[in-house]
Structure 1
């Protein structure tokens, strides 16, 4: 195992243990609004603190980007950790047991290591660039569907892109008409991990932040899938509009989406 992946796993487990213990006493979780329909809890902050402390202990010069604390520059800018201490905070707050700790590492701008940890189920998804993706240390692959028929597709309502909600629901309707079913589970990181593991056949979401997608993107790629924006380009880290699936299924998803895209979605 790559030493940096090992440290990321250690950080995810330590943070996940705190998150899982806190989940047993949901009534004691302190919740604050940081924006419209956007929440942060004291447990998010504690999880983030544990992750950063663990990473900095081994790699004090690396830079960090995290959902709650933002940018933490380091002396060695070639290495950047991207952290979501609880991906799926709304689920966590409501007592819905579906959320994850997400940690990714970029080396010279390229995704290099990834960890997504579900502390409730004890499920660890990991990937190293060029080395494949694993679920609890067992190799995983995306499902190689050629068409939408018979598939289960994950998505998420566009909380951070409500101006495009009409176009989004048109896309959803078009995809749903051809797929077997659609799921909205509330954790983009786990959605992407599930695509990598073959639990979901594809996923599309709007307005996501890099800390929600970075680890999942590498997982999907290393599991044999593709990740693009809504027009098939690689602007998803900037736009936040993400499509993930096996190569042939992704092509069909993009074809179904294309007639409904607004100008903003194409950027």
Structure 2
């Protein structure tokens, strides 16, 4: 493949795919259909994940036939030797969905030679579509968005991810480090939405000890284009990362409080 494909066209395709997956989730939600396929201590797999994924893949395979796709549910398919890669989470916030808690989203990212360049996060219940592509700005439902001006943790609202890998220890440590230092702490259950909320100023920072690449690939692009920053650190599992996302102003304080070394981060998405 010669040269970077047109990012505006890829953004449109990603948005179409995210809306297709979101439409299926909305239908299942309204019908009250929650079919559990598997459970673990801190996670759940639903039929809804698979049905959303099928709708997304149908759009992408028609629009970019043969291009490589990485999804949470099915792994890698398509052209493994190409430079482009779709990174999909068909239902970010599966546990929320299973409990009828209305905070979940579809995440669709496109990476070029390993770097996410296009990101779309779609909340099907609120019908909010967050989107961005490299050097194209960030938008929510077509309206430009930007991060908050909050410059001190005492005024900040920070989200801690409660992941599936020993959350009592890892999320607990973050909560203890931040408690009393921030205005409010939250645990929301959807990294893609939480990071997108930082991009539009509703939240100020997000951290999680171990998260999958498909959870934040799209939102990291959106946050970067909104003026924030998403940092990731390598993890023993190749598709998992430690993550810190901020409005940019709170990064230094949070790195110190959480004991994170920016020199060791494996990926940094900012302007």
- For normalisation by structure 2, the TM-score amounts to 0.88
Query: Which one of 62, 78, 102 corresponds to residue 67 of structure 2?
Result: 62
Counterpart in the other structure of 2:3: none
Counterpart in the other structure of 1:125: 130
Deviating 4+ runs (over 6 angstroms) = none
3-state SS in 2 of match to 1:248: coil
Contact 1:228/1:235 (CA < 8 Å) preserved in 2?
no
Q: How does 1:1-267 map to 2 (within 5 A)?
A: 2-26=8-32, 28-33=33-38, 35-74=40-79, 77-162=82-167, 165-229=168-232, 235=234, 239-258=240-259
CA distance in 1, matches of 2:243, 2:213: 11
Contact 1:100/1:189 (CA < 8 Å) preserved in 2?
yes
Taking structure 1 as reference, are residues 254 and 238 closer, same or farther at Cα in structure 2, changes over 3 Å only?
A: farther
User: Mind listing any 5+ residue stretches in structure 1 that lack a counterpart?
Assistant: none
User: 1:86 Cα shift?
Assistant: 0.5
Q: Single out whichever of 188-197 and 137-146 deviates more from structure 2.
A: 137-146
Q: 1:30-49: per-residue Cα shift (whole Å, max 9, x none)? A: 11116443222112111101
User: 1:160 Cα shift?
Assistant: 2.1
Q: Please tell me the root mean square deviation across aligned C-alpha atoms, in Å.
A: 2.2
User: 1:73 Cα shift?
Assistant: 3.1
3-state SS in 1 of match to 2:108: strand
CA distance in 2, matches of 1:45, 1:94: 18
User: Mind listing any 5+ residue stretches in structure 2 that lack a counterpart?
Assistant: 1-6, 267-271
Contact 2:106/2:121 (CA < 8 Å) preserved in 1?
yes
Flag the structure with higher helix content.
1
3-state SS in 2 of match to 1:203: strand
User: 1:167 Cα shift?
Assistant: 5.0
- For normalisation by structure 1, the TM-score amounts to 0.89
CA distance in 1, matches of 2:81, 2:54: 20
CA distance in 2, matches of 1:238, 1:43: 22
CA distance in 2, matches of 1:136, 1:90: 26
Taking structure 1 as reference, are residues 137 and 256 closer, same or farther at Cα in structure 2, changes over 3 Å only?
A: same
CA distance in 1, matches of 2:37, 2:176: 34
Contact 2:122/2:128 (CA < 8 Å) preserved in 1?
yes
